[in-house]
Amino acid sequence: MYTVTVLLSTYNGEKYLKPQLDSLINQKNVKLKILVRDDGSTDSTLKILDNYTEKYNNIEYYATGNIGPAKSFLDLICKAKGSDFYALCDQDDIWDEDKMTVAIEKLKELPEDKPNLYYSNLRIVDQNLKFYRLAHDKKMYNKNKYSALTENLCTGCTAVFNRKACDMLTENLPEYCTMHDTWVYMMCKLLGNVVYDYTAHISYRQHEKNVVGTGLKKNSIKVYKERFFRIFKKDLQPRYQNAVNFEICFRKYLTEKDRDKILKLIHYKDNLHCRLSLLLDKDIKASSFYGNVRFKLHILWGTV
């Protein structure tokens, strides 16, 4: 039986934490450990965790102050040792009992000496678990590995990765990354393998306190407008920041072509030639037409 460590970061999660933990405990045909890091909760989250750790010997938690979700999950990854596979987990969803076994079956087919990642579709539900829609109405996958420089297609709470990925993440921590799931996706996409499952094995709860969410309904005009105006915000530049840190952390693993592509993004603002080179690159592009147009506008405006 394969061993799995579930990595869960909590923050004032008292309202939905119990059913989330119960759905983890009910996973079938895996030897499961649950490692929780609390990110400074002020509600009854710690009391709930105390009760569960007393009841179940495969649950462990620690609390070392507020550092935000990205750093909290990276800290969990650093402390997770010895399992065959690792899964990222939010504090407010419900996992199907076969979520881990399905992911492992997919990951087993990939070479163990590479960092490998599984991610899947999601069922969008409201706070009372009423189903609204699937998050992906079509396959959310791109064979082109350099698309990872422009977008993250993996929703973190569906992510499962192998021991090699965990080891590489632990040994190569970034000074900055936009979000933990983006960092894991970039590493596995560029240096290993990524497998996607169109079937949803999780109920992705949407409520008023989601840190990151997708909304009950499909993207509205308001959402598209917000994304459009984000193009002009000079202070963000998340893809550039991720690329800089990725090149520093994983330089020794990169092929010459990989490094050339990453450096093209890093240096795109050096001069007009560099900007045009990135703009016209046939590999560094997003999956969708709209996503690619938006990426091109970021290049032109200097906010990649």
What does the pLDDT average to over 173-181? 94
Tell me what the mean pLDDT of segment 137-141 comes to.
91
The SS3 call for residue 28 is coil
- pLDDT score of 214 more than 60: no
Q: Residues 169, 184: contact at Cβ < 8 Å?
A: yes
**pLDDT tens for each residue of 70-88:** 999 999 999 998 999 999 9
* Average pLDDT over the chain, rounded to an integer: 93
pTM for the structure as a whole: 0.92
pLDDT computed for residue 220 by the predictor? 60
Which of 111, 183, 110 lies closest to 149, judged by CA?
183
What mean pLDDT is predicted for residues 135-142? 92
pLDDT score of 213 more than 60: no
Pairing of strands 131-134, 116-125: antiparallel
- Supply the pLDDT for residue 292: 94
Residue 114 sits at φ, ψ, to 5 deg, of -120, 150
- pLDDT of 48 > 80? The answer is yes
* Residue 167 pLDDT greater than 70, yes or no: yes
pLDDT attached to residue 231 = 64
Q: 23-46 pLDDT, tens per residue? A: 999 999 999 999 999 999 999 999
Work out the pLDDT band at 209, boundaries 50, 70, 90.
low
The C-alpha atoms of residue 88 and residue 154 are separated, in whole angstroms, by 11
Give pLDDT, residue 207.
75
**Buried/exposed code over 249-265 (b: 16+ C-beta within 10 A; e: otherwise):** bbeeebeeebeebbebb
As a whole number of angstroms, the distance between CA 274 and CA 264 comes to 7
Please give the CATH topology (third level) of the domain spanning 3-205: Spore Coat Polysaccharide Biosynthesis Protein SpsA; Chain A (3.90.550)
Please indicate whether residue 100 or residue 222 has the higher confidence score (pLDDT): 100
Could you tell me what percent of the chain has a pLDDT over 70?
90
Over the stretch 251-297, which tens digit does the pLDDT of each residue have? 999 999 999 999 999 999 999 999 999 999 999 999 999 899 999 99
The pLDDT of residue 222 is 65
Ranges in the chain annotated CATH 3.90.550.10: 3-205
Backbone angles phi, psi at 222, to 5 degrees: -60, -45
